[in-house]
Chains A and B, each alone.
Chain A
Amino acid sequence: MEIILVLLPISILLGLFFIGGFVWMTKKGQYDDLETPKFKMLLEDKIKNIAPKENQK
């Protein structure tokens, strides 16, 4: 069970790291617009050569 004494600090540090990341992202304004970015990722590639899906109007 002594391994917990090693794992505990690691888990806490990891947790703090992600909390820090979240705070940083929020302050930077990454969560201000939750609608547009999900579309933007679809536009990254040049889609010229991909045929549009059929049976769609």
Chain B
Amino acid sequence: MHAQHSSITKQEVVLCSHCDEPALAGITSRIDSSKVFCCAGCRTVYEVLNDIGLDEYYQIKERAGVIKRRAPVQLSEQKYLFLDHDSFHEEYAYKKNQTLSMDFYLEGIHCLACLWLIEKLPELVEFVINAKLDMEKSIVSVTILEQKDAKFSTVARELSQLGYKPHPLQKNQSTIELKQSEERSYLLKTGIAAAGASNVMIYAVSNYAGASDSYASIFNMLSIAFAIPVLSYSALPFYQNAIRSLRNRVVSIDLPISIALIAGAFYGAWNVLNGVHENYFDSLTTLVFLLLLSRYFLKKIQEKALSSRDFSYFYLGDSVRRIESLKNRKVQEIHPNFVSKNDYLLIAPGDFIPADSIVIEGESYINNSLFSGESRPTKLELGQFVFAGTQNISNEILIQVKKTREETRVGQILKSVEDGWKTKAPIVLYVDKIARFFMFTIFVLVAILFAKEAYTESLSSGFEAALTLLIVTCPCALALATPLAFTRSLEIAASAGAIIKNDSVLQKLSEVQNIFFDKTGTLTVGQLALKRIDTCSDSSHSLADVLLSLTRSSTHPKSRAITQYFESRFAKILNRSNYLETPGKGVSADIFGSTYSIDRDRVFENDKMIATLSFEDQVRTDSYQSIKSIKDGGYHISLLSGDHSQVCKEIALQVGIEKEHIYSEVSPESKNAIIRNQHKSMMVGDGANDAIALSQAHVGVAVLGAMDISLKAADIYMSEPGIARIGDILTLGKETMYVIKRNLAFSLIYNLATIIGVFAGIITPLIGAIIMPISSLTVLASTYIGTKKMRSLWR
């Protein structure tokens, strides 16, 4: 958030007591002067917490061992007022016995201390009754009293003052409840299968150990009793899938499972009633449990990765200002979801356009990088069409909405992204093919075996042999092998801060050979800092004061760098008039009778040049080390940037990329061409500015930008800035494929061996019942043990 200044951070780095960013402005607490802060906002938070006796937060924070607190957001009183409208409450708030509750997605939830602080909300705001945080989803549910002065806008302001940016979540009672009951029933099914299977196993072991006849029959009856709920209730999903696949005339893996379960259950029951001790309830129930469990894990992890797409409206910004009509310009703040067609909206510089619209008044520059992949501002003229998701940069404009939400261009894109989530990895399709062929073969073999045995021996021995084959060849190890490995790897990746879009990305990762790095924001911090000032003639006022006064209200990166540099050096703000900012050129203003201006990197006083400025984007401290370790992995690394070749060379030298692998001054279009020409390339870059290049690459990794938009183009989103984890992710991809191949090889060998065994008559139903769960367990163990490198990533 706050840029580091190259010249001073090297000597002394004092960290802000609240957010652990470098504290350069030298702001100290008014309560305790030993506490230093990076900005006034952090100080306010510190003092607020101290005031109300919640300074315990800092102790919890230290104990949790977590640094990087989010710096608070500067707020106006106007902010979040839209939360209090009745129409907003109708769609967002839950009413219940004199209370209102609303769910917010919070940006910036890290740890224990956050949980503690947020659940203390009732002590901070008097009308808040309850605040409950779900850390996994980063969703807080706030309940307030339904009274006149109780307002959600106050709650939201309080939350953002604590450093968490709140986004209200639209209520969707029916889907949430449906999902919840589905989840619970799945858990119930798994739990009951576990209980049933373990109880059945107790009796089965007693029988194998040689219980006498009278006990054995009691144990068998009890096995049936415990197996009934497992094979009827818990196994329901298998039957449903099998029926569905039959209806669609495809062979699914649940079909042989269902047949084995039903046939095994009836045959086992038949045996028990006839006093034969062999029954398959132990293996059948274990099978149900293991399959349900693995599917439950799979579902949980996939949900974690997918939850991001629920927040696809983030790019719309927090709130928009609507005016009633062109004549009556009363401004009302509303939530972006309430924007409707033909509304007139005021868009301030820095705000995002919430809907596809036409410019009615004003001219400005916009950041269109979302669509063009180019970070340079483009001119926006009167009457021009402007797309949702672009950012207004220089002047306030008035727009009239033409298309909203799903109809907008970005809405359409996001919709196609959602469809893309379902993409399966090539290896999954391949395994499906093998499994389908395999199952077909099994059905044929079962029929042959049955006919053979029934012809040569008896009908019952034919049935027994056929069932043994069906159970023993049930491809559950095959079915578990791939999804389990993918799921575990997605989980490992998520714990390392990388959100991987889907299974196929992991497979693609294992194939990567060339890696392209973007420069700005990827290898570098991505924020300009003022590096040097060369004065060429004296100015009538202190240059520091003049520069600060000139730039303090501009949002251009260079202006921000100047402002930050001089603010931290206690420069004074002078009175200025005739302030003018020309996009693409600079700023100018009159100060004490002289006209000062900054034109690109030069500073003028009354048309006389007085100084030149140089800016620098700092290389991330870990870039060199990360690049080196990736190189050691045998990858081909290149730098790809739109910046000047001199700047690129300097950066490349610092991070250790060879001169011949620098592609500088490349336009977004030629970036695509370069990437497309390279076989199996990985592109690492900014989610917004390199969107097109990222989507063209074999694997695109976004290290900056909003998650939802980045994942539109990229396959992987790194939630931590920098490239430290890229090497790990590459390793993970390779190792995952290795584990999958190991699993597949094992399960196929197992199945082939057992088929031969059954035909040769070596495998009796008893042996079959023992090996079958063991094969699944081996695959489970093989996946969970993984490889040494995967385990080290996990920690």
Task: Write the residues of chain A forming the contact surface with B, with a CB cutoff of 8 angstroms.
Answer: 1, 4, 8, 11-12, 15, 18-19, 22-23, 26-27, 29, 31-36, 39-40, 42-43, 46-48, 50, 52-53, 56-57
Contacts and interface: CB of A to CB of B under 8 A. Distances in A.
Contact of A39 (B20, B115, B199): B115
Contacts of B575: none
Secondary structure at the B interface, as helix, strand, loop or mixed, is helix
A46 B59 CA distance: 11
A31 B189 CA distance: 14
Nearest to B219: A8
29 contacts: A8-B218, A8-B222, A11-B202, A15-B199, A18-B195, A22-B188, A23-B191, A26-B184, A26-B187, A27-B188, A29-B180, A31-B187, A34-B136, A36-B115, A36-B133, A39-B111, A39-B112, A39-B135, A40-B115, A43-B112, A43-B115, A43-B116, A47-B56, A47-B63, A48-B59, A52-B63, A53-B62, A53-B65, A56-B63
Given A22-B191, A26-B188, A27-B184, A36 B136 contact: yes
A16 to B, nearest CB: 9
B62 A52 contact: yes
B63 A35 contact: no
B556 to A, nearest CB: 34
Given A32-B183, A47-B59, 13 more contacts: A8-B222, A18-B195, A22-B188, A22-B191, A32-B180, A35-B136, A36-B134, A43-B116, A48-B56, A48-B59, A53-B63, A53-B65, A56-B62
Interface string B86-123: 00000000000000000000000001100110000000
Contacts of B59: 47-48, 50, 52
B184 A36 contact: no
Top 7 A-B pairs, shortest CB-CB distance:
A35-B136, A52-B62, A36-B135, A56-B65, A35-B135, A39-B112, A19-B195
B591 interface: no
Interface in B574-618: none
A29 B195 contact: no
A33 to B, nearest CB: 5
A26 B181 CA distance: 10
B459 interface: no
Interface residues of B, number: 29
A21 to B, nearest CB: 10
B672 to A, nearest CB: 40
Nearest to B226: A15
A29 B195 CA distance: 19
B195 A57 contact: no
Contacts of A34: 136
B192 interface: yes
Contact of B222 (A12, A42, A52, A57): A12
Contacts of A1: 215
Given A19-B195, A22-B191, A29 B63 contact: no
A33 B588 CA distance: 56
B138 to A, nearest CB: 10
B125 interface: no
Interface string B168-194: 000000000000100110011001100
Contacts of A18: 195
B60 A35 contact: no
Contact of A47 (B60, B184, B222): B60
Contacts of B63: 47, 52-53, 56
B434 interface: no
B205 interface: no
Nearest to B198: A15
B67 interface: yes
Interface of B: 20, 56, 59-60, 62-63, 65, 67, 111-112, 115-116, 133-136, 180, 183-184, 187-188, 191-192, 195, 199, 202, 215, 218, 222
A32 B65 CA distance: 27
B192 A19 contact: yes
A52 B222 CA distance: 55
Contacts of B115: 36, 39-40, 43
Nearest to B62: A52
A18 B196 CA distance: 12
A22 B133 CA distance: 24
Contacts of A39: 111-112, 115, 135
Contacts of A42: 112
A22 B215 contact: no
Contacts of B111: 39
Contacts of B222: 8, 12
A10 to B, nearest CB: 13
Contacts of A19: 191-192, 195
A36 B67 CA distance: 20
A29 B184 CA distance: 8
Nearest to B218: A8
B64 to A, nearest CB: 9
A39 B115 CA distance: 8
Contacts of A32: 180, 183-184
Contact of B215 (A4, A11, A26, A56): A4
A44 B199 CA distance: 37
A53 B65 CA distance: 9
A42 B136 CA distance: 17
A44 B56 CA distance: 13
B184 A31 contact: yes
A23 B191 CA distance: 8
A15 B112 CA distance: 36
A8 B135 CA distance: 43
A14 to B, nearest CB: 10
Nearest to B134: A33
A42 B199 CA distance: 35
Contacts of A8: 218, 222
B212 to A, nearest CB: 8
Contacts of B116: 43
B18 to A, nearest CB: 14
Contacts of A31: 184, 187
A40 to B, nearest CB: 7
A35 to B, nearest CB: 3
Nearest to A46: B56
A27 B183 CA distance: 10
B493 to A, nearest CB: 17
Contacts of B62: 52-53, 56-57
B60 A43 contact: yes
Contacts of B180: 29, 32
